[in-house]
Amino acid sequence: MSDKITVYEKPTCSKCREMTKLLKEGGFDFDKVNYYIEPFSESKLKGLLKKMGIAPRELLRTSESIYKELGLAKKDLSDTELIELMVKHPDLVQRPIVERGNKAVLGRPTENVQSLLK
């Protein structure tokens, strides 16, 4: 697989820094996107979820204060509504997300990325 690797991250995140280290040490060429500076569009987030093969609720950071403030644990929201909230509140998105070609994985734990590096 020779497709470019893109890491969607928050630079202050420890798992994101671990991912950068792993990819650099492996000699991989990759781009990093700070999705707080370059926010996800709804279509981009939908595409990443499809590539990961997971539902929007599986990508939510349930420990974040915004998750609790919005009462998301108790709300039965549609996938579209959850994606809209994640676009509006990037703290709701688990990170890092690593994309390569037609696949993507949640890099938490960091070892999840191994399937993309073969």
**Catalytically active residues, by annotation:** 13
Report in angstroms the alpha-carbon separations of 63 from 28, 51, 66, 76, 116: 31, 24, 9, 18, 27
Distance CA 4, CA 101 (A): 7
Extract the tokens encoding 11. 């630079």
Longest dimension (CA), the chain: 44
Extract the tokens encoding 61. 């950071």
If you count them, how many residues does the chain have?
118
Contact 31/87 with Cβ under 8 angstroms?
A: no
